[in-house]
């Protein structure tokens, strides 16, 4: 019984074409005995020689290609430089919004007293006397601080005859 002969693919033959002669020795020995592989190797060698003999493009073609590529690169750079600037402005706006909100919240923050203190203060306050209720409301101690802002006396008639 004979073992089947291993034939090499084009990829393996292409490797053989580019490696050092001492590394390609087993494949070359096989090529001496196998007509199918040697025919495949010869076709591959013809393709490689034809590709190497291909005429080059004129200089105007390459300058056109270079210009086309550079226009695309410049356009991409322009877009890339605009994008981070937009993101920075947006990030600064968001930061300003939140910092402004924090400042406003801190300045308008309500003073929260515990409910027990309020209830205790109400319980300790004595009931108002009848004399306190009949006192002129414009002479109240709580309104003295506001006399500079609003002159309450200008709203009150100066004579007792006039009726409201």
| Residue 97 belongs to some domain of the structure | no
Q: How many domains does the chain have?
A: 1
- Model-wide pTM > 0.75: no
| Residue 16 belongs to some domain of the structure | yes
| Residue 162 belongs to some domain of the structure | no
Write out the chain's pLDDT in tens, 164 residues. 456 677 888 888 888 777 777 778 888 888 888 888 889 889 988 888 887 777 777 788 888 888 998 888 888 877 766 667 788 888 999 999 999 888 887 777 666 555 566 666 666 666 555 555 556 666 677 767 766 666 655 666 666 655 55
Q: What is the pLDDT of residue 92?
A: 92
3-state secondary structure labels for all residues of 75-95: HHHHHHHHHHHHHHHHHHHHH
| Residue 35 belongs to some domain of the structure | yes
| Residue 100 belongs to some domain of the structure | no
Q: Please give the C-alpha separations between residue 116 and each of 109, 113, 124, 125, 142, in angstroms, as whole numbers.
A: 20, 8, 12, 14, 25
Q: What is the pLDDT of residue 123?
A: 62
As given in the structure block, the two tokens for residue 120 are 């205790």
On whether the CB atoms of residues 142 and 127 are closer than 8 A, the answer is no
As given in the structure block, the two tokens for residue 30 are 């096989």
Secondary structure (3-state) at 40: helix
| Residue 94 belongs to some domain of the structure | no
Q: Which domain holds residue 43?
A: 10-52
Q: What is the pLDDT of residue 151?
A: 61
| Residue 27 belongs to some domain of the structure | yes
The whole-angstrom separation of Cα 157 and Cα 161 is 9
Q: What is the pLDDT of residue 94?
A: 94
| Residue 42 belongs to some domain of the structure | yes
């Amino acid at each position: 019984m004979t073992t089947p002969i291993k034939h090499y693919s084009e990829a393996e033959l292409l490797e053989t074409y580019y490696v050092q002669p001492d590394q390609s020795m087993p494949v070359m020995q096989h090529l001496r005995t196998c007509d199918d592989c040697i025919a495949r190797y010869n076709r591959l060698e013809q393709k490689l020689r034809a590709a190497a003999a291909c005429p080059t493009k004129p200089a105007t073609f390459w300058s056109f290609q270079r210009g086309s590529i550079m226009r695309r690169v410049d356009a991409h750079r322009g877009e890339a430089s605009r994008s981070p600037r937009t993101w920075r402005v947006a990030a600064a706006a968001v930061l300003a919004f939140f910092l402004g909100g924090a400042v406003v919240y801190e300045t308008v923050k309500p003073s929260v007293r515990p409910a027990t203190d309020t209830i205790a203060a109400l319980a300790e306050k004595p009931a108002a006397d009848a004399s306190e209720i009949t006192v002129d409301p414009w002479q109240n101690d709580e309104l003295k601080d506001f006399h500079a802002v609003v002159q309450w006396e200008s709203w009150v008639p100066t004579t007792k005859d006039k009726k409201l």
